[in-house]
A and B are shown apart, each in its own frame.
Chain A
């Protein structure tokens, strides 16, 4: 016999069937999914805006996206449900068209002697690999087949297989291995100088086999329909209110203590704050528990807004992953930042419909950064170092854009606004320890913890990026709460 179902009305404002902690991509997706089926859900967010690592902010009268470079997994025409993004839209009952995604122009991976272009046609990417590495042709095809046969989304997948070693088994030219690791690590590796093979396959497909896209008005376009639906369904949301402690008893979370001292109860708890962050919220935890599981990967990102379209500087590309040596370094730098490698994003260069365009030019540059060094700075040096590092990053990055260096002066003159965010900003706004970007190296794919009613969702399931985090949130809601309910 099915269990008697408790109606939400019977809950008194302090007791919910599900409490979802964190209104980032994973939290929003799981909360919506649960509300769709009549669960009483409370979504708690420490910050005053939703989105988490993919939030937005206003500065100088302009609206900016925090994280968004590209929405990955843009489905090739007619790809149907095989595409994770289409699957996600279906699960959230949000028409794909509502996301108003526009595809990229083209992007590049730039190493000292190699400049590989790709766009949203997978065949073009393959032809570029074959043009630059003709001797790898057969081996590369074999690698593609290995990846096709691998179910990266499986809840049972091993999260600790080194992509570097699998690439090494398939390919002979070290440079090609580095070139494949560069974009995949930047878009989702929590470990240094490698990425687990499941995440590699997911990201390779997300970036190359499917493709990159962006809505003209940025991440809000993504967040708004989700919030709207969630609220229409009666889902509850409290902002500016974080969880302080999970109080546990007999292997379950018995109650939740909030930052303002309030106590609430939940049959199920989904935490999207990260595995180590969540453990530290447990009443019994010590504060330096599992410090080894905190990722060493964090970033500095600078945004320049200027009065000119990037294409008028001759810059037509959307994303450039660059590295100044034949070996790709993806590690916490010894200095504040390491400008020698990074990612450029030019959001103007998506193909917006009807020739629409962002009013001003934007250039975003992201490099790896050292969290400890950034937090050790006093306020004055923090401010001045941000500017010094921004300049150093920009100088190198411009070298990877056509005639970039000779445009530097004009770019500076036309710049209207600069913004920069550091590992400190990430920690402050998302609570991720050490300003970590892609969660902990320790992943829990099925979201389980040692507490029967506490599940993890999002980056620390090993589902990376915007689409990944949301699919992870949906999977936890489905498999842990809705199924077998």
Chain B
């Protein structure tokens, strides 16, 4: 697992919940909300899918860590690592 993989996991989830979005050119450092048509309902879906598919929990107070692909990778990477060890 590395941070690039985490970004891809998040992108795959977005592709599933928002099939109508073009994800070919998503900039990792820019807020997802500013480049894609995503709202708070969609972020809830990202969180729910992380739990369902990967057993990763994101408490509501920390949803904003998923703002951009970069911040998602920073925030989620240790969680994926911890999972892999466990």
Question: Which A residues form the contact surface with B (CB < 8 A)?
Answer: 2, 36-38, 80-81, 86-87, 90-91, 93, 95-96, 474, 478, 482-484
Which chain B residues numbered 1 to 45 have a C-beta less than 8 Å away from chain A? 16-20, 37-39, 41-42, 44-45
Residues from chain A with Cβ under 8 Å of B45 in the complex: 91
Contact of B37 among A81, A91, A93 (CB under 8 A): A81
Q: Are A37 and B57 in contact (CB under 8 A)?
A: no
- Classify the interface of chain B: helix, strand, loop or mixed: helix
Residues from chain B with Cβ under 8 Å of A37 in the complex: 48, 51-52
Question: Which B residues form the contact surface with A (CB < 8 A)?
Answer: 16-20, 37-39, 41-42, 44-45, 48, 51-52, 57, 59-60
Please give me the residue from chain A that is nearest to B48 by CB atom: A37
Q: Are B37 and A483 in contact (CB under 8 A)?
A: no
Chain A to chain B contacts (Cβ below 8 Å), 5 pairs: A38-B52, A80-B20, A87-B39, A93-B16, A482-B48
B12 vs chain A, min Cβ distance (A):
14
Q: Are A87 and B41 in contact (CB under 8 A)?
A: yes
Contacts A37-B52, A474-B41, A484-B60 known; list 11 others, CB within 8 Å: A2-B59, A36-B48, A80-B37, A81-B37, A81-B39, A87-B41, A90-B17, A93-B17, A482-B44, A482-B48, A483-B60
Q: Are B18 and A90 in contact (CB under 8 A)?
A: yes
The complex places the Cα of A474 from the Cα of B41 at a distance, in Å, of 10
Please give me the residue from chain A that is nearest to B19 by CB atom: A95
- Classify the interface of chain A: helix, strand, loop or mixed: helix
B43 vs chain A, min Cβ distance (A):
10
Given contacts A95-B19, A478-B41, contact A2 B57 (CB under 8 A): yes
A-B pairs with the 6 shortest C-beta distances? A2-B57, A81-B37, A37-B48, A484-B60, A80-B37, A478-B44
A29 vs chain B, min Cβ distance (A):
13
The complex places the Cα of A80 from the Cα of B17 at a distance, in Å, of 14
The complex places the Cα of A38 from the Cα of B48 at a distance, in Å, of 10
Residues from chain B with Cβ under 8 Å of A87 in the complex: 39, 41
The complex places the Cα of A38 from the Cα of B53 at a distance, in Å, of 11
A445 vs chain B, min Cβ distance (A):
16
Please give me the residue from chain A that is nearest to B60 by CB atom: A484
Residues from chain A with Cβ under 8 Å of B16 in the complex: 93
The complex places the Cα of A90 from the Cα of B40 at a distance, in Å, of 13
Given contacts A37-B48, A37-B52, contact A90 B42 (CB under 8 A): yes
The complex places the Cα of A38 from the Cα of B17 at a distance, in Å, of 16
Q: Are A91 and B41 in contact (CB under 8 A)?
A: yes
The complex places the Cα of A482 from the Cα of B46 at a distance, in Å, of 12
Residues from chain B with Cβ under 8 Å of A96 in the complex: 20
The complex places the Cα of A201 from the Cα of B51 at a distance, in Å, of 37
Residues from chain B with Cβ under 8 Å of A474 in the complex: 41
B32 vs chain A, min Cβ distance (A):
13
A87 vs chain B, min Cβ distance (A):
7
Residues from chain A with Cβ under 8 Å of B19 in the complex: 95
